[in-house]
């Protein structure tokens, strides 16, 4: 492309960086790019140069894009110039309509997609170039026709009538002309007409019938209507149709014709022209295909972006809820720690009256239910402390089948379909039991009139799946014949605290806990359901690399009788928890020293060499329990440590204390005694 052939493309934006980015994007088009930093600069450019395409920023000082476009359209030279709006602000539908009313032909949102911008500018630039070429061709044709007409007008009088008819045909279309004597039926074609229709003078006798036979069959009604109206009513017509030439080629044509009337007003001649518009049609169709492809690509890109934003928003929302839920569970565990420890000590010290003991037992039971609730919260937040191991699904279900049947009740038919030689799964067995129990209770509540529940499992291999890593998984399926869920309910089923049960009948954390367990275990939870067709829950868990270990019989750790008492340093920033833990330790016969921070604990250790054990909370300001344990192991490696926490997220790497037993809050006095015994090698 020479410098003379390049078109001017005007870029209007008050931000130089954006102008530079447009220049880089459009550079490969090879056109002349003119930059303007304001509406005033743009108007000065337009008054000096011919511009093919204008790219305008909507938001600019002094004059915004809409006002500038309106001023441009008021100038006769730029009434048909392509204007494309660019905006970094989400525009509403009224804003878009305002832009189109101001003269815009298109709209581009920011961030700009370079390929789309180049394609749009290229289309409008090529359209401008073709339009200009067509105008030049028309001007040349008009000049040639004018010259020819002047020459014909100077001819003899005997040719004057023929020149008049030819002039009418040339004015109508200036391509191939024809003349039909309606009285005799004679038909005259010029060379252009023969060339367009693809027949020579000696090849075919031209008349209305032969013309009609060359018209494509589906377009003949249009051809007949135009001809008949001209002959019967004396009216001119302009029709568009296709012809099928003798060589088989299809050409698009426009025929314009007018009838000549005698003194009685009857049509005696039909004179007209035929213009071959095949190239124009192909260009229009090509442009239409380009526009449709652009619209499709823009729509696909818009949908992809909307889907990505939706997924990002959902992930951020669930992560935020998880962080909030985990924090609430941590604080709630501290409160339950103080309540449960105090109740246990109180139970030992009050009278043994049945009514008093019943009240204390009820309070302890309520605190334990609160602890179970916090475990569900932590499971949803993926912050519970999991102890994954190789678990035999068959043995686990056999061990809890009676519990599941009692939870379902007599109205639900319970079936277990587990194939023999089912491989082990890697999961926390206690949490898996709780998850299956939750799913069974949810299924029971969805079948108020009774029904059936089937628990099955199958080994699946995943090669490629967006929501699961490649590998072997055990797909555990729980299917019920209950009332099912609609799409709106199904979309919220795993959200925390969402429940369709009545007030006081559900916490809305059952499915959230199962969802959290699956995600934290490296698996997936899926739910499918339709109203009236029941629900199917699939729990995907990774296959274990090793066989399940044989279970060892559980033993009760003996409570200390005070014969082996030690001095215990209790570190916790919560005064209630610290005081409650110390009270339980003293009841076990141990002496206690309390610290409210890691820094204070280190000072007490230096001043009290008699300290024989440290029990520390993890989540503390300034220095966490894990960091404190690491510091203690450096200066006193043989000093026993216990890390007590209501939160599962302990740091990895260098700050993680080695071989430090953990005690989950809230803990009972018996659990505290057992932890002390284990930490001291008992």
* pLDDT bucket at 553, cuts 50 / 70 / 90: very low
Share of the chain above pLDDT 70, in %: 77
324-349 average pLDDT score: 67
49-61 average pLDDT score: 88
pLDDT, the chain, mean: 80
Q: Which of 268-282, 363-377, 513-527 has the lowest mean pLDDT?
A: 363-377
233: left (phi over 0), alpha (psi -120 to 50) or beta: alpha
Q: Has residue 91 got a pLDDT over 70? A: no
Please give the pLDDT value at position 613: 92
- The span from the CA of 38 to the CA of 40, in Å, is 5
CB contact at 8 A, 522 and 469: yes
First to last CA, the chain: 90
Buried residues in 479-498 as b, exposed as e (16+ CB within 10 A): bbbbbbbeeeebeebbbbee
Please give the pLDDT value at position 591: 92
Buried residues in 130-166 as b, exposed as e (16+ CB within 10 A): eeeeeeeeeeeeeeeeeeeeeebeeeeeeeeeebebb
Between 412 and 645, name the one with better pLDDT: 412
Task: Dump pLDDT digits (tens) for 253-279.
Answer: 988 888 888 888 888 888 888 888 888
Between 651 and 475, name the one with better pLDDT: 475
Please give the pLDDT value at position 403: 73
407-412 average pLDDT score: 85
Domains and CATH numbers, the chain: 8-137 (3.40.50.2300), 155-276 (3.30.450.20), 386-542 (3.30.565.10), 567-679 (3.40.50.2300)
Between 365 and 94, name the one with better pLDDT: 94
Task: Dump pLDDT digits (tens) for 562-585.
Answer: 447 899 999 998 888 888 888 888
Report the run of H or E that residue 286 belongs to, with start and end: helix 278-349
Spatial CA neighbour of 391 closest among 433, 436, 419, 358: 433
- The span from the CA of 196 to the CA of 175, in Å, is 9
Task: Dump pLDDT digits (tens) for 372-396.
Answer: 666 655 554 545 556 788 888 888 8
- The span from the CA of 119 to the CA of 573, in Å, is 64
pTM for the model stands at 0.37
Between 96 and 531, name the one with better pLDDT: 531
* pLDDT bucket at 500, cuts 50 / 70 / 90: low
281-286 average pLDDT score: 88
Please give the pLDDT value at position 654: 40
Please give the pLDDT value at position 618: 85
Please give the pLDDT value at position 571: 93
Please give the pLDDT value at position 401: 83
393-405 average pLDDT score: 83
Peptide bond preceding 666: is omega within 30 degrees of 0, i.e. cis?
Answer: yes
* pLDDT bucket at 448, cuts 50 / 70 / 90: confident
658-682 average pLDDT score: 78
Please give the pLDDT value at position 570: 93
Greatest mean pLDDT range, 17-26, 163-172, 370-379, 422-431: 17-26
In the block, tokens 């899926």 appear at: 526
* pLDDT bucket at 476, cuts 50 / 70 / 90: very high
337-351 average pLDDT score: 70
Between 124 and 163, name the one with better pLDDT: 124
Please give the pLDDT value at position 75: 85
Identify any residues that bridge with 274 across adjacent strands, giving them in sequence order: 176, 255
Could you count the other beta carbons within 10 Å of the beta carbon of residue 261?
Answer: 12
DSSP state letter for 174: S
342-346 average pLDDT score: 72
184-199 average pLDDT score: 84
CA-based angle 252:249:242, to the nearest 5? Answer: 25
Please give the pLDDT value at position 88: 66
Q: Which of 160-164, 275-279, 415-419, 592-596 has the lowest mean pLDDT?
A: 160-164
Task: Dump pLDDT digits (tens) for 134-158.
Answer: 888 888 888 888 888 777 777 666 5
37-41 average pLDDT score: 89
**169: Cα separation from own chain's centroid:** 60
- The span from the CA of 367 to the CA of 365, in Å, is 5
Share of the chain above pLDDT 90, in %: 11
Please give the pLDDT value at position 561: 44
* pLDDT bucket at 435, cuts 50 / 70 / 90: confident
- Output the CA–CA distances (angstroms, integers) from residue 298 to 290, 302, 345, 604, in the order listed: 12, 6, 70, 68
Greatest mean pLDDT range, 148-157, 204-213, 319-328, 618-627: 618-627
């Amino acid at each position: 492309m020479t410098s003379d052939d390049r078109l001017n493309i005007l870029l209007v934006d008050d931000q130089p960086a954006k102008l530079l980015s447009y220049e880089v994007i459009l550079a490969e088009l090879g056109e002349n790019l003119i930059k303007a930093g304001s509406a005033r600069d743009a108007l000065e450019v337009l008054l000096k140069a011919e511009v093919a395409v204008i790219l305008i920023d909507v938001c600019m000082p002094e004059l915004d894009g809409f006002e500038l476009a309106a001023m441009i359209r008021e100038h006769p030279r730029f009434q048909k110039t392509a204007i494309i709006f660019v905006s970094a602000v989400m525009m509403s539908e009224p804003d878009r309509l305002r832009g189109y009313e101001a003269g815009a032909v298109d709209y581009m949102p920011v961030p700009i997609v370079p390929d789309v911008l180049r394609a749009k500018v290229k289309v409008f630039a090529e359209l401008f170039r073709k339009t200009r070429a067509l105008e030049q061709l028309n001007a040349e044709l008009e000049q040639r026709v004018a010259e020819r007409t002047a020459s014909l007008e100077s001819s003899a009088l005997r040719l004057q009538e023929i020149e008049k008819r030819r002039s009418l045909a040339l004015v109508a279309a200036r391509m191939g002309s024809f003349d039909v004597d309606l009285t005799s039926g004679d038909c005259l074609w010029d060379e252009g007409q023969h060339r367009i229709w693809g027949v020579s003078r000696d090849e075919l006798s031209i008349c209305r019938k032969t013309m009609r036979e060359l018209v494509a069959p589906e377009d003949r009604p249009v051809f007949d209507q135009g001809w008949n109206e001209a002959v019967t009513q004396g009216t001119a017509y302009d029709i568009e149709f296709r012809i099928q030439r003798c060589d088989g080629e299809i050409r698009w044509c426009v025929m314009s014709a007018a009838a000549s009337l005698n003194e009685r007003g009857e049509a005696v001649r039909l004179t007209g022209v035929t213009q071959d518009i095949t190239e124009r049609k192909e260009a229009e169709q090509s442009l239409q295909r380009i526009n449709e492809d652009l619209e499709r690509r823009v729509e696909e890109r818009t949908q992809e972006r909307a889907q990505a934003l939706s997924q990002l928003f959902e992930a951020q929302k669930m992560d935020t809820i998880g962080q909030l839920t985990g924090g609430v569970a941590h604080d709630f565990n501290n409160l339950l720690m103080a309540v449960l420890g105090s109740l246990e000590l109180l139970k030992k010290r009050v009278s043994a009256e049945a009514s008093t003991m019943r009240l204390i037992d009820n309070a302890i039971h309520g605190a334990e239910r609160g602890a179970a609730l916090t475990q569900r919260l932590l499971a949803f937040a993926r912050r519970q402390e999991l102890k994954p191991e190789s678990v035999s699904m068959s043995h686990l279900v056999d061990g809890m089948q009676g519990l599941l049947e009692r939870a379902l009740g007599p109205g639900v038919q319970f079936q277990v379909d587990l194939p023999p030689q089912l491989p082990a799964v890697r999961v926390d067995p206690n949490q898996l039991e709780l998850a299956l129990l939750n799913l069974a209770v949810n299924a029971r509540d969805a079948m108020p009139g009774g029904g059936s529940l089937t628990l099955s499992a199958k080994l699946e291999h995943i090669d490629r799946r967006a929501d699961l890593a490649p590998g072997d998984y055990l797909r555990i399926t729980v299917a019920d014949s209950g009332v099912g869920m609609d799409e709106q309910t199904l979309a919220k089923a795993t959200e925390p605290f969402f429940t369709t049960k009545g007030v006081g009948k559900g916490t809305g954390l059952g499915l959230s806990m199962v969802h959290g367990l699956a995600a934290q275990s490296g698996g997936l939870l899926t739910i499918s359901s339709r109203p009236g067709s029941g629900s199917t829950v699939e729990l995907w868990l990774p296959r274990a690399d090793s066989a399940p270990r044989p279970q060892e019989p559980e033993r009760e750790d003996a409570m200390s009788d005070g014969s082996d008492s030690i001095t215990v340093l209790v570190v916790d920033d919560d005064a209630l928890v610290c005081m409650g833990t110390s009270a339980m330790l003293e009841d076990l016969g141990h002496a206690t020293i309390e610290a409210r921070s890691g820094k204070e604990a280190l000072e007490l250790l230096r001043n009290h060499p008699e300290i024989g054990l440290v029990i520390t909370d993890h989540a503390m300001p300034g220095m966490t329990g894990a960091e404190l344990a690491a510091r203690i192991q450096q200066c006193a490696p043989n000093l026993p440590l216990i890390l007590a926490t209501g939160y599962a997220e302990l740091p990895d790497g260098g700050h993680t204390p080695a071989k430090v037993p953990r005690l989950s809050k809230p803990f009972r006095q018996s659990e505290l005694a057992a932890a002390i015994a284990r930490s001291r090698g008992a």
